[in-house]
Chain A
Amino acid sequence: MSMRRGTTGLMLALGVLLVGCGGDGGDDMVTVDAALVTLDSGPSCNAAAALPANYRDIAMVSTGTVVTTVAGGVTSATIDATAGGLANAADNPFIYVDLATGTKVAIHDAQARTQSSWDIAFKRAVIRVNGGDSGPGNVRVAIVPGATLAAVTTAPAENIFNVDDWTDDLCALLSTPSGEPLTALADWYDYDSASNRLTPRAEVYVVRARSGTLYKLRIMTYYGDPASSMRGALYKVEWAPL
């Protein structure tokens, strides 16, 4: 499925009314009239089957946790996407998150493909959102330069929002150079081969959640374990309604 690359397939007209933003921030109401999403890989493509083996669907609910605090309208979360560690990640699932409640959604990967109960999911360095090849929630993401949430005050143009899209017209995998599925947030980090570390880019991600609410979201670090600065996939993330 693709908006960026697709040229054929099913055209879906989505009429989405975003009904405002909750929280304490008194954020603006945002209305989006409609969006066109091109499904180039067709409705019969099982995108899960195209995933690399290390990211295939796992029929198990993540044992990871989502711990959040809310202050000034900003939700700060520590999300355990370690998936059993590198050696076991191929056999452990994504962890699914509801942005509105800031909670983990206790579903497994196969269930997530048909459920609209989640917005964003994490496993190791891969982040998915509940739209396109990832799920039915029509969640989409726009990437906005900016080092802080406060730097983003207006909704991006509609045409820069993307859904998850890691399959081509033949339902084959589209991947990053490192072999990860090419999700809408595939490029969230810079990789330093000398230190083997991932550094979040100075970007804010505007996520249109499945509810229609716009959130601005930032990844603070991939190494959120205060006891071990080398332990990856323990994300610290913050988000707030836009």
Chain B
Amino acid sequence: MRRTLGAAVAVPVAVVLAWALPGVAAARPVWTDARSLASPGGNVRVHYTTTGVDAVLIGDLNGDLVPDYVAEVAAVADTTLGNLASRGFRAPLADGTLGGDARFDIYLINFASADGHFMGETCSGAPRTCSGYIEMENDLVGFSYPTRSEGIQVLVSHELFHAVQAAYPGDLPVAWSEGSATWNEELAFPAQNDFERLIPSFLAKTARPFERSGAGFGDLYPYGAALWPHFLELAHGAGTVRGVFELAPMDFLDAADSVLRGKGSSLGVAFAEFTRWNLMTGERSDPARGWPAAASWPSVPLEPALAGALPLSGEVWIEGLSARYQPIDVEAGVGAQRLRLTATPGGGAEVALGLYVWDGRQLGEVVEGRAEAGGLIAEVTPGAATRLFAVVSGVTRGKALAPIALKLEVAPATSPSPQPGGDGGGCAVGAGQGGKTGGSSAGGALLLLVVLGGALLRSRPRPTVTAHGHRPQS
């Protein structure tokens, strides 16, 4: 489902259900002046009325007796479905003759607080699949899309992807249902900027465990989670996201792990790589190694910098699949020496450590933490640079919030000198990075350090917490 917004609101602000289910929603709209248009491509029937509260914009510049708004919705739907088919996704399930024929139905209605949703109507199987229809805004008057055409593109491509999701069995966590629907907007209509408007909501909350991504009212994180499928396709090849859906009803992260292993990677490796791409945003953007166009994106949140004379010590906290970004400022002249950063996980945390030198213009190659008895160790010789960035990435789902102690000191004279991007000789988990179409900052294998017996560690599996809906909020 799309979001609530008002005319004065620059960014839509309310997150509701991904898509509504039978019994939750009202029946299809019924109008005394019901009209419809079959799309030129034959995929969709757009239902509308020209009277009453749901009346569409009646402008008809081409004089074909069909409101241009309706015709544009139909054309955009054809384009979207053609695009989805070309990418190998299933078509929305057919609804028989509901709506008058077998075409997928879109109803244009006057929304009070949102601007569109897919309504699951007829479901079968367990886990279920559903056919249904879309209801979307009848005129977009008072909404904040830069143009009406962009609003139509965003809504139709987003909601049709929910219809596609319903053709795969099982229910989806909100970050995957909304994130992938928002990602589809970008794939279907790259020129629209809804994707770009939403991803800051994800980048601002990188400490949130991705597997527990349920959101509060008005929290756009699930939509900004479009970054994850965007990453999967850029870093691991077109079709990766479809591969995840084809494994439904498998949990989307389990499915991603399976697909990634088929490409020589794994969920843990890829998630660490993803978190490092996210460091390369804003002034640290580097299209050669990460997001192709992240210079205009906001930076991820940085921890308060560790600064001063060596040794420097600090602490970050990690839960599940998440990341912390730790700047470290060393005094001028110190960088001539080889410096060692040690990350010591507590409480059963499983993390990866990536260390970068920042010269004020560009990030150096990542140095992967290698596992040693005292923790993950990464070493660099910064030279004239005085700022380092440590990316501490949680790489295992369900791990409780736990502290990671950080210490930067001059490396012992006998310490090895791992090459940037190499695995440093530690215990490798996962595999190489086969199948990528884009560059990789993660380089070699991911290193994990597991410290057991922490106070927060428990012996039984954590229960699944679904995040698919929201209580009325106050």
Chain A residues near B (Cβ < 8 Å): 44-46, 48-54, 56-59, 85-91, 109-110, 113-114, 125, 170-173, 178-180, 191, 193, 196-198, 222, 232
Are A46 and B456 closer than 8 Å at their CB atoms?
Answer: yes
Q: Does B458 sit at the interface, judged by CB under 8 A?
A: yes
Are B462 and A53 closer than 8 Å at their CB atoms?
Answer: no
Are A87 and B462 closer than 8 Å at their CB atoms?
Answer: no
Given A54-B215, A86-B216, decide whether A191 and B472 contact each other with a Cβ distance below 8 A: yes
Q: 1/0 contact trace for B203-232 toward A, CB 8 Å?
A: 001011100111111111100000000000
Are B462 and A50 closer than 8 Å at their CB atoms?
Answer: yes
Q: Looking at the complex, which one of B208, B401, B472 makes contact with A91 (CB distance below 8 Å)?
A: B208
Q: Give the residue name and chain of the A residue nearest to B324 (CB).
A: A59
Are A53 and B467 closer than 8 Å at their CB atoms?
Answer: yes
B residues less than 8 Å from A58 (CB atoms): 401
How many angstroms between the C-alpha atoms of A222 and B473 in the bound complex? 13
A residues less than 8 Å from B208 (CB atoms): 53, 90-91
Are B217 and A87 closer than 8 Å at their CB atoms?
Answer: yes
Q: Looking at the complex, which one of A53, A59, A172, A180 makes contact with B212 (CB distance below 8 Å)?
A: A53
Given A87-B217, A88-B216, A196-B473, decide whether A171 and B463 contact each other with a Cβ distance below 8 A: yes
Give me 22 A-to-B residue pairs in the complex whose CB atoms sit less than 8 angstroms apart, sorted by A's number: A44-B458, A45-B460, A49-B400, A52-B214, A52-B467, A53-B212, A53-B467, A56-B212, A85-B218, A86-B216, A86-B473, A87-B218, A89-B219, A90-B208, A110-B402, A171-B460, A171-B463, A172-B463, A178-B472, A191-B472, A196-B473, A198-B474
* Shortest beta-carbon distance from B349 to chain A in Å: 12
How many angstroms between the C-alpha atoms of A191 and B471 in the bound complex? 11
A residues less than 8 Å from B319 (CB atoms): 56-57
Are A193 and B472 closer than 8 Å at their CB atoms?
Answer: yes
Given A46-B456, A170-B460, decide whether A53 and B205 contact each other with a Cβ distance below 8 A: no
Q: Name the prevailing secondary structure of the A interface residues.
A: loop
Ranked 8 nearest A-B pairs via Cβ = A59-B317, A53-B214, A87-B218, A172-B463, A178-B471, A46-B458, A53-B212, A49-B462
* Shortest beta-carbon distance from A82 to chain B in Å: 11
Q: 1/0 contact trace for B440-474 toward A, CB 8 Å?
A: 00000000000000011111101101010001111
* Shortest beta-carbon distance from B18 to chain A in Å: 15
A residues less than 8 Å from B462 (CB atoms): 46, 49-50, 171
Question: Interface size on B (CB < 8 Å)?
Answer: 36
How many angstroms between the C-alpha atoms of A173 and B466 in the bound complex? 11
* Shortest beta-carbon distance from A110 to chain B in Å: 5
How many angstroms between the C-alpha atoms of A180 and B217 in the bound complex? 14
A residues less than 8 Å from B456 (CB atoms): 46, 48, 110, 113
How many angstroms between the C-alpha atoms of A115 and B319 in the bound complex? 20
Q: Does B13 sit at the interface, judged by CB under 8 A?
A: yes
Are B205 and A91 closer than 8 Å at their CB atoms?
Answer: yes
Q: Does B398 sit at the interface, judged by CB under 8 A?
A: yes
Q: Give the residue name and chain of the A residue nearest to B402 (CB).
A: A110
B residues less than 8 Å from A109 (CB atoms): 401
Q: Give the residue name and chain of the B residue nearest to A195 (CB).
A: B474
Q: Which of B209, B398, B463, B465 has the most CB of A within 10 A?
A: B465
Are A173 and B463 closer than 8 Å at their CB atoms?
Answer: yes
* Shortest beta-carbon distance from B457 to chain A in Å: 7
A residues less than 8 Å from B402 (CB atoms): 110
How many angstroms between the C-alpha atoms of A223 and B212 in the bound complex? 29
Q: Give the residue name and chain of the B residue nearest to A167 (CB).
A: B463
Contacts A58-B401, A87-B220, A232-B474 supplied; 14 other A-B pairs, CB < 8 Å: A46-B458, A57-B319, A57-B401, A85-B218, A87-B216, A114-B455, A170-B463, A171-B460, A171-B463, A173-B465, A179-B471, A193-B472, A196-B472, A196-B473
Q: Give the residue name and chain of the A residue nearest to B213 (CB).
A: A53
A residues less than 8 Å from B465 (CB atoms): 50-53, 173
Are B463 and A196 closer than 8 Å at their CB atoms?
Answer: no
Q: 1/0 contact trace for B153-176 toward A, CB 8 Å?
A: 000000000000000000000000
Q: Which of A49, A50, A57, A113 has the most CB of B within 10 A?
A: A49
* Shortest beta-carbon distance from A16 to chain B in Å: 24
Q: Looking at the complex, which one of A46, A51, A88, A180 makes contact with B219 (CB distance below 8 Å)?
A: A88
Are B467 and A191 closer than 8 Å at their CB atoms?
Answer: no
How many angstroms between the C-alpha atoms of A90 and B319 in the bound complex? 13
Q: Give the residue name and chain of the A residue nearest to B205 (CB).
A: A91
B residues less than 8 Å from A44 (CB atoms): 458-460
A residues less than 8 Å from B207 (CB atoms): 59, 91
Q: Which of A46, A56, A114 has the most CB of B within 10 A?
A: A46
Are A46 and B472 closer than 8 Å at their CB atoms?
Answer: no
A residues less than 8 Å from B213 (CB atoms): 53
Are A110 and B317 closer than 8 Å at their CB atoms?
Answer: yes
Are B217 and A110 closer than 8 Å at their CB atoms?
Answer: no
Given A45-B460, A49-B398, decide whether A54 and B216 contact each other with a Cβ distance below 8 A: yes
Given A52-B465, A110-B401, A110-B456, decide whether A90 and B214 contact each other with a Cβ distance below 8 A: yes
* Shortest beta-carbon distance from A73 to chain B in Å: 31
* Shortest beta-carbon distance from B173 to chain A in Å: 10
How many angstroms between the C-alpha atoms of A11 and B170 in the bound complex? 41
